[in-house]
Chains A and B, each alone.
Chain A
Amino acid sequence: MKESGVYEAGTDVKFANEEGALSWALVDGVVELALHRAPCNELGSASLEELEKFASALENMQAEAHALIIYSELKPGFCAGADLRELYQRAQTIEKSEAERAVRNFLERIHRVLNLIDAAPLTTIAAVHGVTFGGGFELALACDLIIADKMARFCFPELRLGLIPGFGGIPRLKRDLGNAVMRDLLLTGRSFNATKAQQIGLVSQVVGEGEALRAARATAAQLRKFDRATAAAAKKFIKPIPHDEMRQEIDIFCELFARPAVQAGLRKFVESTDAQPYLP
């Protein structure tokens, strides 16, 4: 079932593009990126290719836009993170050293995409609902603002696999939050609801069920009133990308990925029928 992303009559829609896992359009000066890969926008190799196409298109659309909204059209949530089934299945079919190289390559590519979104001269908004876990949480963290449906839940479950978040999550959390909150999120692997996420400073607005996209569009309409160059200069000043830590994160992830415990953790997750499969 899809959430409604339909535009009102008379809306100026340009550059509409439909891919398998996502689609985007320039709507009244707002770039809207809709995620729609069932079951919950898991990020695998096909999604990454489409995100790379979107990143290229974004550079061309930026001149005509002042904001970017990223949202999910799927009922379960914003994004459940990396496609662990694909990761596990691929790792079973190729040599260990080749799998490690492929993982590093994937991480470097997704970092490039997320860094581009992070540093875009537009004001970027993640409109999230439901599951916002792992890589999905990291995608939201690349945005300037997170607007959350009250049923959204945030979680970094990577430690259960013997891994750390690999899409820039730790450096971006460090940029935004106190270290004690980060330790709670990462080391316990527990999930937070939207109210808690707002209390700790992750989320800028909590809205009613099904209202995140509407609130994001209203916010984007407000942003249009500001001079774009000023907004871009302010953003560049207050939101630097921690590039050194990003590179460190990739190295640590790859080092951990090489351990046999990770394959066992991935297998356990893929085969799990547990009600809380994200917990160890």
Chain B
Amino acid sequence: MQTTDQTLEEILSLAAAQFKVPRETLNPDDDFFKTLRIDSLQTLDLLTKLEHHFGVELPDYELQGVSDFRTLAGKIQARL
């Protein structure tokens, strides 16, 4: 099974590709709403991409209040 660090790296790469920003501009503890300037519809798109990429279900309510990549990685790791 992959480690949380690997999961985190994949999330960062996926977010960079999805929102067309250089990977190196994203950091694990960034507030992705601020860094990526994403709205509610883009948040849903990111959720869908993450579910497809990791092959997991991420109930919206588990992600409520999650705003940094590291915490998000922990939530996904718990479902792998």
Contacts and interface: CB of A to CB of B under 8 A. Distances in A.
Interface of A: 40, 76-77, 130-131, 150-151, 153, 155, 188-191, 193, 195-196, 274-279
Nearest to A277: B40
Interface of A is mostly: loop
| B contact patch SS | helix
A188 B64 contact: no
B20 interface: no
Contacts of A155: 60
Nearest to B41: A76
A276 B48 contact: no
Given A276-B60, A279-B60, A191 B44 contact: yes
What 8 pairs between A and B have smallest CB-CB spacing?
Answer: A190-B59, A275-B43, A190-B60, A76-B41, A193-B48, A275-B40, A193-B51, A151-B48
Nearest to B33: A275
Interface in B24-80: 33, 38-41, 43-45, 47-49, 51-52, 57, 59-61, 63-64
A188 B38 contact: no
A189 B51 CA distance: 17
B63 A193 contact: no
Interface of B: 33, 38-41, 43-45, 47-49, 51-52, 57, 59-61, 63-64
A278 B59 CA distance: 13
Contacts of A188: 59, 61
Given A151-B49, A193-B48, A276-B63, 20 more contacts: A77-B41, A130-B44, A131-B44, A150-B48, A151-B45, A153-B44, A153-B47, A191-B44, A191-B47, A193-B47, A193-B51, A193-B57, A195-B51, A196-B57, A275-B39, A275-B43, A276-B40, A276-B43, A278-B40, A279-B60
29 contacts: A40-B41, A76-B41, A77-B41, A130-B44, A131-B44, A151-B49, A153-B44, A153-B47, A153-B48, A155-B60, A189-B60, A190-B59, A190-B60, A191-B47, A193-B47, A193-B48, A193-B51, A193-B52, A193-B57, A195-B51, A195-B52, A275-B33, A275-B39, A275-B40, A275-B43, A276-B63, A278-B60, A279-B60, A279-B64
Contacts of B49: 151
A108 to B, nearest CB: 31
A155 B61 CA distance: 12
A131 B57 contact: no
A208 B59 CA distance: 22
Contacts of A40: 41
Contacts of B64: 276, 279
Contacts of B52: 150, 193, 195
Contacts of A151: 45, 48-49
B35 to A, nearest CB: 13
Contacts of A193: 47-48, 51-52, 57
Contacts of B39: 275
A80 to B, nearest CB: 9
